[in-house]
Amino acid sequence: MTTPSDSGHGRFDPTLNAIVSERRQLINVAYRLLGSLADAEDVVQETYLRWYAMSPQQREAIESPRAWLTKVASRVCLDLLGSAPARRERYVGEWVPEPLPDRTEWITGQPGGTTADPADRVTLDESVNMAFLVVLESMTPAERVTFVLHDVFRYSFAEVAEIVGRTPAACRQLASSARRRIRASQAPTTPAAQRSRIVSDFKQAWQAKDIDALVGLLDPDATAIGDGGGLVDAGLHPIAGSEQIARYALAIAGKAPGLTVLERTVNGQPGLVAQQDGVTVVVMAFEVAGDRIKHIWAVRNPEKLRSWRMGPQQ
C-alpha cells in the first residue's frame, strides 16, 4: 500500500514504519470482530486512509499511534457489526465466518509455502477457531467488541469504553455477558490428537461412502451448516441429526466423483479441504465434543476461499 510522505514534499515520515508495522495487529483484531478477512482488510485500509487524511501536525499530536489506529479500526468494525443483521438478511442461505488456512499454507495454498507479506497472516489460536467465531456472531456488537478487545487482546476496560461509547463499568458487564455465552456453548475438551483422528476417520468414511461409519462419528444431535453465498449450490438451512448429515454428505460425494479430500488445518483446528481438478471448492471446519463430531461448517462461497485458492503463480 502506498502512503503519502509526512509533509507531502517527499520528506520521509519517521512514523511510517511504526504505523505500517501495526497492520498485522489491526488485521488480527478486525478479523476476530468481523469473521471476514476481506472485511478486515477493508477496515485496515480505511483506518490508514483516516490516519493519512490528517495533517502532519495532527498526527504528531497523537501520543500513541498504535492506540489511535486500534481505536479507529475497532470503531469502524463496530459500525459494520451494527449493519450486519441487515446484510445477513440479504445474504443467500447461511452465513459462516471466512475459514483461514494454516500459516504454512497462507496465500500460496501450498504446504511449506510463504507469504510475500507476513503482516497479512492472522495469528491462529483458540480465539479464531470456527466454534468460537460462531459464538461471537451471536453477541451484540458492543459485547463482541468489548470481549475481543479486553479478553483476547487485553485492552483495559477504560480503553474499551472509549471505543464502544460506554462506561468502564458497563463494559465489565458486557464482557461478563459475553463470557457466559462462551461458557454455555463450549463443548467438552477433546485432546488435539483425538480431534485429528476423528476428522481423519470422517474423511475416510466419507470417501468410502460408509454411512454407518459416518453416523457413528457424528453426535446424534449434530448440525451441519453450508455457506454458498448464493454463488454456488449449498444447503439453505442447517441440517440436524447424524443420519441426515451422513446421507447429505454421501449425496454430495455422489455428485462429485472426482473430488479430492485433504486433511488440513482450518482456523487452527483439524479440518478438511475438498478440491475439484486441483481447485479448492469447499473448506470444512469441525467441532468435536468427546468422541463425536458436534458441528460441521462447510464453506463453499468462492469469495471466502480466496486464501485457499491462490497459488505461487499468482
Its pTM stands at 0.86
Domains of the chain and any CATH numbers: 192-309 (3.10.450.50)
Over range 265-276, report the average pLDDT: 94
Residue 310 reports pLDDT greater than 90 = no
Res 36: pLDDT = 94
**E strands in the chain:** 218-227, 239-240, 260-266, 269-276, 279-289, 292-299
Residue 302 reports pLDDT greater than 90 = yes
Rg (CA), the chain: 21
CA distances to 176, 227, 270 from 195, in Å: 29, 23, 7
Residue positions counted in the chain: 314
What percent of the chain clears pLDDT 70, i.e. is strictly above it? 86
**How do 269-276 and 279-289 pair as beta strands?**
antiparallel
Q: What is the pLDDT of residues 54-111, one digit of tens each?
A: 999 999 899 999 999 999 999 999 999 999 988 888 899 999 999 999 866 544 444 4
Q: Which residue has the cell 505500517?
A: 20
Residue 250 reports pLDDT greater than 80 = yes
**How do 292-299 and 218-227 pair as beta strands?**
parallel
What cell numbers appear for 288 in the block?
468435536
CA distances to 31, 101, 168, 290 from 25, in Å: 10, 18, 23, 34
